[in-house]
Structure 1
Amino acid sequence: MNPTPDHTRSYWMETAELPSFAPLTTDAEADAAVIGGGIAGLSAAWELARAGLSVALLEADRLAAGVTGHTTGKITALHTTVYDTLSTRHGEDAARLYAASQSAALRYIVETAAGLGIDCDLERRPALTYCEEPDGVDALRAEAEAARAAGLDASFVTETGLPYPVAGAVRVEDQAQFHPLAYLRGVVEDLVVRGGRVHENTRVTGVDGGDPCRVTTSSGCTVRARHVVVATHHPVFDHAVLATRLTQHRDLVIAGPLPAGRDPQGMYITREGGKRSVRTTPLGDGDRRLLIVTGEAFTPGTRADTEAGYDRLRSWAQERFPGFEVSHRWAAQDNSSVDGLPLVGRMRGGGENVYVATGFAGWGMTGGVMAGRLIASLVTEAREPWADLYAPGRSGAVLGSPSTFLKAQWDTAKHFVKDRLDALGNGTHGPVGALAPGEGTVVRAGGGPCAVHRDDRGELHAVSAVCTHMGCLVAFNNAERTWECPCHGSRFGVDGEVLQGPALRPLERRDPPDL
């Protein structure tokens, strides 16, 4: 079965429903206001409630319906080839702190699931970073050595549980995988028991980092709090400081049943071929497991044909796992800092009591739990030993690798100019009259750039093509039927509604242009 573009709900969201909560309708006060209901925000809220603080958590949509609901659910301290890079750029002490913090988060998830009695399909598995091409072996040998020096049970191997040969792999033992939403359901339930207040469909539009802090929402209601945690994937209230230090990437995900006897018995990832990630999860009948394959990484708003990416990913999976058929597909989005380390701690320029958690580079399960614990320690003045490593104000977070920082700024500037020139011509994806059902293009109409989509019935829908975050032009994603900003990753529905920040306001609706 190959799903239609409408079947894009992740397996996690389909099989684990979190409790529902009413929007914020009156002004409120709390010791801590947490903005964002993904794993980082929920972890921070839970930790603060456990520390005895009154907590109000505000989520613009549904809990865990953003990045967290579309993850692959790996719980591991092996993050592709991070340790060799960290040792080279930041020193061996930084690599050891990173390994210790991520491993501590892994253990904490396992302990929390056991302590709260959460049934979340948690399984201990090895994690492997591999290559199929011989020219990648030296880098993996170096990574195995760096990971081992950082404190992980790492080794270089040439045999894996995959049904195809590899040239080499880094293997780290006793890692884990789980159902992320089933886990967070248990965390949310305990948060409420501890007095935490949760409000969904409550979009925060501003944060005043005074004393107390003041959080404003689109409904006009406010929350006064001594502490504020911004865990919104992209720090939406920080245009100037952190926006230029984060790069966005989006991955496609496909999944389908696999006989239990063909389970590769591990979590695998390679950077080859636009990245490929493989793991399985139980399907419940014991005879089958769900194979989850991720890859085709790209910057939002830069891929002309996202549907073709799904085709390539499916072909890759079917070649290596004969008989595989897709039952689910979705996409995941994450961001990375310019120096490769998450940004967790006090937000630069946001005030003494405003904290941020972002930049997990695709490893948000351990990263989000680590961030929740780290922020709670800063609030309660307990301080974790790796606080300085992740501090948003560290020197590496400002420039990181100069080439990475300059490339990010060049890409943003290029989109400001090139996309507007394309719209002045025949449109970024051709003229409106040539649009087939399901397609979209950006053209010049009514004195400005206009984003036009033709739905399956042949009707045109038009909105402003200017992203409401910082003014880049959006581009059409034909697989998800969304408008995406290539500069900072904001995503909008075809009607202009905000699906994913940092944008806070929808795209303005327009009349469809004359053909």
Structure 2
Amino acid sequence: MNEANHEPLWRADTKLPSFPALTEQVYADTVIVGGGITGIITAYMMTKEGKKVVILEADELLNGTTGHTTAKVTAQHNLIYDQLITSVGEDQARMYYEANAEAAHWIKETIEQQGIDCDWQEEAAYVYTNDEEKEKSLQKEAESYKKLGIDGALVDSMPWKVPFKQAVQMNGQARFHPLKFLKPLVEYIVKNGGAIYEHSPAEDIEKGEKPAVLLKSGVKAIGNHVVIATHFPFYDNGFYFAKLYPTRSYVIAIKPKKQFPGGMYITAEQPTRSVRSTVYDGQEALLISGDGHKTGKGQPTAEHYQNLIKFAEKEFGIEKLLFTWSTQDLVPMDKIPYIGKADKDENIYSATGFKKWGMTTSVVAARILSDLIVNKQNRYAELFSPDRFKADPGVKQFVKQQSDVAATFVKGKLDYFFKDGDNLPVNQGMIINWEGTRAGAFKEENGTVHLVDTTCTHMGCECEWNDAERTWDCPCHGSRYSISGEVMEGPAKKPLKNLGELGDQTWQE
């Protein structure tokens, strides 16, 4: 098997403009923290309202969850509608569907209005199963489609001739190239007075009539409104860490040996297998994703890619392995994203918890947030409001997730190891006993060893090594750190304590 490119396909074939870091204080009507799809579409909508916007991105535009998506534009968020009818009622479940269906229509309409070439392709989406226990779940989901007026049903066959016991189809869904879609929106924002700053990580917000985003550099961006579109809100006034749990999933892109017949597919059971096609370098490529798990948990990370490769080889044949990448998603306890005011009394807004379905949800978020900012009515605002809470079956699962967090916290404090006399392996992170303390060690090829205290700076859980991305990941709330301890993904704000860099040597307990 050839060595694949480890960056996402979308970024490999799309050259995005670059922007400077913010070095002096700026003012805007709306300051948006986060340069992913939610931040960019919100900025685009606010710009069309005639408002001056500033986007602050800690890294580079579209290099986070958006750049790592599989980019299905669909309201078929696996099996959700029967669950929503049970937990929030038929009217609210219908609103959830309509919000996402309207979001997909907005994307299509924008593509047509702006003349954007982004490989937009409409096709049906399918959830299928080979698990007898899931058959009833799919039947209930199909019944929910009828109740809610969704164009779809149980089907006896699918274009892709994979074995299945039951499948539910949703018609009129789509797929596209997210970066090709978003690049013209970025250009529109800049052309119409907006400002974008990269490598400008935010650290805090100073509340007030005109809230200010304080960067780690000490520079401020002041606005009448602040939108937090940073995947996990860095300003966690809503205690989102207690309402969300982080999951990781994996994607491979292949050039298949067999021709793919079209359609978008996902399994109802675990481990998830999701399949869709795209175009890369003028030829068809398949994106195969899944093998998800809670962040910091499960088998060695590289094995997840091998599982997807085995599946792809069996079903399609692999002429060439093109790309491999992974992504992190946040799952809310009731499966409905949190979108709206981060603080009831302030002009601070946030959007998080998209649970792997960010292409339509990002548009839902941008529409709600931009409407709230300009004081327009939005019929979906209450459904997605961050301050809601409903006692429903999802809470039972949430309590289980949070008890898992507690168990992880305790276990992490006790679980450190390193074999006597063994040299540290090169290019691999290891948990070691360093002077009586649990520490993380990463050894470079030149023999330099980075040592960090693995205690997450968010709430004290112990991080685990992610060998595929070469990061230290917190299994409790999803913070991720580089080999030297720098924060790569929140909610943590402070780096891991650096215990120093050492030359090549052997440790013993």
How does the TM-score come out when normalised to structure 1?
A: 0.94
Indicate yes or no: 2:490 matched with 1:495: no
SS in 2 for 1:395: coil
Q: Distance in 2 between matches of 1:38 and 1:25?
A: 21
* Equivalent-residue separation in structure 2 for 1:400 and 1:138 (angstroms): 18
Q: Does 1:437 align with 2:426?
A: yes
Contact 1:22 1:199 in 2 (8 A): yes
CA contact (8 A) 1:347 1:355 kept: yes
Which has the higher mean CA deviation after the structures are superposed, 434-443 or 37-46? 434-443
Contact 2:134 2:268 in 1 (8 A): no
Match of 1:493, as an amino acid? S
Alignment of 1:273-422 (within 5 A): 273-285=270-282, 288-348=283-343, 351-396=345-390, 401-422=394-415
- Could you report, residue by residue, the CA deviation over 1:103-127 in whole angstroms, capped at 9, with x for unpaired residues? 0000000111111121111111111
Give the one of 41, 54, 57 matched to 1:56: 54
**8 Å contact from structure 1 (residues 235, 243) kept in 2:** no
TM alignment of 1:22-421, pairs within 5 A: 22-238=20-236, 241-258=239-256, 262-285=259-282, 288-348=283-343, 351-396=345-390, 401-421=394-414
Alpha-carbon distance, 1:399 to partner:
8.1
Q: Distance in 2 between matches of 1:414 and 1:133?
A: 30
Which AA in structure 2 matches 1:223? A
Query: Which consecutive unaligned segments of at least 5 residues does structure 2 have?
Result: none
What SS does the aligned partner of 2:321 have?
coil
Where 1:262 maps in the other structure, the secondary structure is: coil
Shift of 1:446: 4.2
Q: Give how far 1:279 is off.
A: 0.2
Q: Take 2:10 and 2:394, find their aligned partners in 1: how far apart are those partners?
A: 35
Give the secondary structure class of the aligned counterpart of 1:327. Answer: strand
Q: 1:460 to 1:399 in 2, by over 3 A?
A: farther
Contact 1:244 1:408 (8 Å CA) reproduced:
no
Equivalent position SS for 1:401: helix
C-alpha distance in structure 1 between counterparts of 2:447 and 2:237, whole Å: 38
Note if contact 1:8-1:329 (Cα within 8 Å) is conserved in structure 2.
yes
Q: What's 2:468 paired with?
A: 479
For residues 342-364 of structure 1, what are the alpha-carbon distances to aligned partners after superposition, in whole Å with 9 as ceiling and x for unaligned?
Answer: 00001146x42111100111000
Say if 1:479 and 1:2 are closer, same or farther in 2 by CA, change over 3 A: farther
Is the CA contact (8 Å cut-off) linking 1:27 and 1:221 kept in structure 2? Answer: yes
- Once the two structures are TM-superposed, the CA of residue 317 in structure 1 deviates from its matched residue by 1.3
2:496 match:
507
Separation (CA, whole Å) in 2 of partners of 1:324 and 1:383: 52
- Distance in 2 between residues matched to 1:163 and 1:228, nearest whole Å: 49
Amino acid at match of 1:372: A
SS in 2 for 1:383: coil
On the 8 A contact 1:318/1:325 being kept in 2, the answer is no
Which has the larger displacement, 450-459 or 460-469?
Answer: 450-459
Supply the distance in 2 between the matched residues of 1:15 and 1:184 (Cα, whole angstroms).
14
Change in Cα spacing, 1:450 to 1:302, as seen in structure 2 (3 Å) is same
Could you tell me how far apart the structure 2 residues matched to 1:55 and 1:114 are?
Answer: 24
For the residue of structure 1 that corresponds to 2:174, the secondary structure is strand
Instruction: Give the Cα–Cα distance (whole angstroms) in 2 for the partners of residues 442 and 239 of structure 1.
Output: 33
**Which whole-Å CA distance do the structure 1 matches of 2:15 and 2:494 have between them?**
28
Partners of 1:446 and 1:180 lie apart in 2 by 48
The CA distance in 1 between the partners of 2:2 and 2:459, in whole Å, is 37
Number of equivalenced pairs? 504
Identity %: 36
- 1:62-117 per-residue CA deviation (whole Å, 9 max, x = no partner) reads 01100000000100011101101101111100111011100000000011111112
Cα distance in 2 for partners of 1:277, 1:79 equals: 12
Shift, 1:239, TM fit:
6.4
Contact 2:237 2:343 in 1 (8 A): no
C-alpha spacing 1:475/1:432, structure 2 compared with 1 (3 Å): farther
Structure 1 residue 164 displacement after superposition: 1.8
Deviations along 1:385-434, whole A, 9 cap, x unmatched? 111100001123x98733223223212222221111012xx25xx67935
Q: Matched residues in 2 for 1:304 and 1:277: separation? A: 20
Q: Does residue 1:467 correspond to 2:456, yes or no?
A: yes
| C-alpha contact (below 8 Å) 2:87/2:392 kept by paired residues | no
Structure 1 position 514, deviation (Å): 5.8
Q: Cα offset for 1:51? A: 1.2
Distance in 2 between residues matched to 1:54 and 1:126, nearest whole Å: 39
Structure 1 residue 458, shift from structure 2 partner: 4.8
- Determine if contact 1:343/1:392 at 8 Å carries over to the other structure: yes
The answer as to 2:12 corresponding to 1:19 is: no
CA distance in 1, matches of 2:435, 2:236: 32
Instruction: With the length of structure 2 as denominator, give the TM-score of the two structures.
Output: 0.95
State the Cα RMSD in Å.
1.9
Paired amino acid for 2:459: M
SS of 2:483's partner is coil
Deviates more, 1:317-326 or 1:169-178: 317-326
